[in-house]
Amino acid sequence: MRRENKRTGVFTRRALLLGAAQIAAFGTLAARLYQVQVVEGAKYATLADTNRISARLIAPARGRMFDRFGVAVASNRQNWRALLVAEQTQDVGATLDAFARIVPLADHERQRIERDVHRHRRFIPVTVREFLEWEQMARIEVNAPDLPGIVIDLGTTRQYPFGPSLAHVVGYVAPPSEADMGEDPMLALPGIRIGRAGLEKHHDLALRGRAGAVQIEVNAVGRAIRELEHQEGVPGADIQLTIDAKLQQQVIDRLGDESASAVVLDARNGEVLAMATNPSFDPSLFDSGVSQAQWIEWTSNRRAPLINKAAAGLYAPGSTFKMVVALSALEARTLSPTDRINCPGYLDLGDTRFHCWRKGGHGLLNLRGGLKNSCDVFFYETARRTGIDRIAAMAKRFGLGVKLDIELPGARSGFVPTREWRIAEGKPWSVGDTVVHGIGQGYLQLTPMSLATMAARIATGRAVQPHLTRAVSGVVQPGVDPTAWPEIGIAERELHAVREGMWAVVNEPDGTAPKAKLALPGVQMAGKTGSSQVRRVSREQREHGFKSENLPWEFRPHALFVAFAPYDAPRYALAVVVEHGNAGAAMAAPIARDIMTDVLTRDPAASPQAMPQQVARDGAA
């Protein structure tokens, strides 16, 4: 019995130990269940939803651009693309291998995708392939179970209806670089483009908008079942330009095959109605990627299609600068409109002879005759009397050699030299330097945009600034009102004397540009020719009947023409520069005449402005 009691005691202790162990186990289990279901319930519910719900950011539609009459010049069109969400696949490489069996991937594409996956957070979609055809998109969708992490997205791509004709104005967009990503997290989203040139770059922040988000319920294999929530992003702002797109196309057509540029301004308020550069390029190629062959073709072209010649091309202004020389002399009282200067065909200064373009000379001329005949000797002497510093100061008042408020990245100010600049360079300024600058040669370097601005300021007497933006999101920008620009501070009688000389250039039979005379009844244009040398002509060449048209193309002078019209009530100003066109009167003046005829006939500044056309955000017009 004692032995039996002993066995019973052992069993009881074992039962108690086992019971205690069971209670402890169940207690631990209960505590863990409480921890999981109550304390961390929200966390695990979120994780469960994460497996069931795919949350994706969506890029906003980029803002559009319209011309002054509401015609779209930069819009968006649909673009099917395949994206990869790295966190939705266990093996990115295997997913890409499976994708490549459906839509082949080049080695450089694969490298770019893998680089983007490592560069971004795993929940951020990475573009695998854009511009999918319908058949490719359908095959990807059918094979979705074998493509974990791959999703089809309907995005947009940039569309430029006017192509090369507005490329240098509107600019273009391209995918952001790695350096750009730090500026804005939204730039990591697939399909995002940023402005790289022109107004696309200047207005880039306004055009971007704000990103949206979408939540999609997916099944076990990642196939989308339904959309749970969709929050639209904020589209980018719409920009209305001052440009008349149809006039722009007419200007491009008139430039033809010449390497040339032309600028047309509303002389009263500085609105840029046309700004053409020829040759040009297709801006849409930068969105999808420029091939190496295309890039080599562009960069090796001696006519430089990628350069905006109208705003960044630098040229000696030649005789188009003579109005500035005249105005500086009139203000300094070193010349009056009635003073006469004799032109025997040359000006001797020390042992140097400066020639007039007319070998036999022009005889006695006053200011009107000097401008009308574009007499070099007249302006050699006028510049000598006045001095380079006065001439440079006057040039700056007319928008030459100074920064203009044009909204184009890369626009250049040009250069007007002074005595102080020359001394800072370690060389003295000579009277001979001043004489050469009197006819727009020497160190002068100006843009067609600045020459058009000069013509507008001469025409109106106001310090208008050229600008390309008319409205942002419907808000009209400053500068539309002509009275908003201050007067330039030149006496009206002095401006009139110069305008009268420009009128004689075009409208009198013995002026230098009779080919520029308008055929429109009752409308007259005032203008000035210019031919700027790109290499020096030696005395020996002159003595042997040198003709610049016999030179190779790249050695011929540039041909220029500036003008405004109508003469009695100026509304439009323009500048035309034909690279190596030889003579402004023969080459640039007829082009300017035809452009001004189109401008006056169309009269865009007087036509009522139109709100942008209702273009759908997916790009459908």
Residues whose CB is less than 8 angstroms from the CB of residue 272 and which lie 6 or more positions away in sequence, other chains included? 242, 243, 263, 264, 265, 406, 466, 467, 468
Whole-number percent of the chain with pLDDT over 90: 62
Vertex 130 angle, CA 126 and 131, to 5°: 165
Containing H/E element for 273?
strand 272-278
Q: How confident is the model at residue 127 (pLDDT cuts 50, 70, 90)?
A: confident
442-471: average pLDDT: 97
Fold of 245-602: Beta-lactamase (3.40.710)
461-468: average pLDDT: 96
User: Quick check: is 548 catalytic?
Assistant: no
pLDDT of residue 186: 81
Q: The tokens 């380079």 sit on which residue?
A: 388
In the numeric block, which tokens belong to residue 405? 């408020």
537 or 270, which is more confident: 270
Vertex 321 angle, CA 386 and 244, to 5°: 145
pLDDT of residue 16: 74
The answer to whether residue 221 scores a pLDDT higher than 60 is no
Reduce the secondary structure of 441-480 to three states and give it as a string: CCCCEECHHHHHHHHHHHHHCECCCCECEEEECCEECCCC
Q: CA 252, 253, 255, 257 torsion: positive or negative?
A: positive
The answer to whether residue 323 scores a pLDDT higher than 60 is yes
Are the beta carbons of 543 and 518 closer than 8 angstroms? no
Q: How confident is the model at residue 108 (pLDDT cuts 50, 70, 90)?
A: confident
The H-assigned helical ranges of 35-124 are 41-52, 92-100, 107-119
404-429: average pLDDT: 94
pLDDT digits (tens, 9 = 90+) for 275-303: 999 999 999 988 877 888 999 999 999 99
Are the beta carbons of 617 and 59 closer than 8 angstroms? no
The answer to whether residue 353 scores a pLDDT higher than 70 is yes
Q: How confident is the model at residue 617 (pLDDT cuts 50, 70, 90)?
A: very low
pLDDT of residue 620: 37
Q: CA 200, 204, 206, 211 torsion: positive or negative?
A: positive
The answer to whether residue 614 scores a pLDDT higher than 60 is no
154 or 265, which is more confident: 265
419-446: average pLDDT: 95
Vertex 471 angle, CA 483 and 75, to 5°: 150
Instruction: Identify the CATH assignment for 54-241 out of 3.30.43.10, 3.40.47.10, 3.90.1300.10, 3.90.1310.10.
Output: 3.90.1310.10
pLDDT of residue 116: 85
Q: Which of 560, 567, 589, 588 is nearest to 520 (CA)?
A: 567
pLDDT of residue 594: 98
Q: Which of 129-133, 182-186, 395-399 has the lowest mean pLDDT?
A: 182-186
pLDDT digits (tens, 9 = 90+) for 534-592: 766 655 555 545 567 778 888 899 999 999 999 999 999 999 999 999 888 999 999 99
Are the beta carbons of 281 and 274 closer than 8 angstroms? no
Residue 34: what residue type? Y
The answer to whether residue 217 scores a pLDDT higher than 80 is no
Q: CA 269, 271, 274, 279 torsion: positive or negative?
A: positive
Domain with CATH 3.90.1310.10 in the chain: 54-241
203-215: average pLDDT: 86
Which range of 14-23, 52-61, 511-520, 604-613 scores highest in mean pLDDT? It is 511-520
Whole-prediction pTM: 0.82
Domain with CATH 3.40.710.10 in the chain: 245-602
Q: How confident is the model at residue 468 (pLDDT cuts 50, 70, 90)?
A: very high
538 or 60, which is more confident: 60
Q: Which of 134-138, 450-454, 480-484, 489-493 has the lowest mean pLDDT?
A: 480-484
Instruction: Measure the CA–CA gap between 12 and 16, rounded to whole angstroms.
Output: 6
Whole-number percent of the chain with pLDDT over 70: 88
Choosing from 165, 261, 280, 319, the catalytic residue is 319
Q: Which of 391, 402, 380, 384 is nearest to 331 (CA)?
A: 391
pLDDT of residue 54: 64
50-59: average pLDDT: 65
pLDDT of residue 542: 52
Instruction: Measure the CA–CA gap between 474 and 60, rounded to whole angstroms.
Output: 19
pLDDT digits (tens, 9 = 90+) for 177-204: 877 877 677 887 777 889 999 999 999 9
376-396: average pLDDT: 97
pLDDT digits (tens, 9 = 90+) for 7-18: 555 557 777 777
pLDDT of residue 10: 57
Q: How confident is the model at residue 38 (pLDDT cuts 50, 70, 90)?
A: low
pLDDT of residue 615: 46
Q: Which of 16-25, 66-75, 432-441, 551-560 has the lowest mean pLDDT?
A: 16-25
Instruction: Measure the CA–CA gap between 260 and 245, rounded to whole angstroms.
Output: 18
Overall residue count recorded for the chain in this entry: 621
pLDDT digits (tens, 9 = 90+) for 339-350: 999 999 999 999
Which range of 214-223, 412-421, 607-616 scores highest in mean pLDDT? It is 412-421
Q: The tokens 């007419």 sit on which residue?
A: 250
pLDDT of residue 539: 56
The answer to whether residue 533 scores a pLDDT higher than 70 is yes
pLDDT of residue 42: 62
Residues whose CB is less than 8 angstroms from the CB of residue 234 and which lie 6 or more positions away in sequence, other chains included? 60, 209, 210, 212
pLDDT of residue 584: 87
Instruction: Measure the CA–CA gap between 203 and 192, rounded to whole angstroms.
Output: 15
Are the beta carbons of 559 and 584 closer than 8 angstroms? yes
Look over the chain and give the mean of its residue pLDDT values, rounded to a whole number. 87
Q: Which of 43-57, 377-391, 398-412 has the lowest mean pLDDT?
A: 43-57
The pair phi, psi for residue 151, each rounded to 5°, is: -130, 150
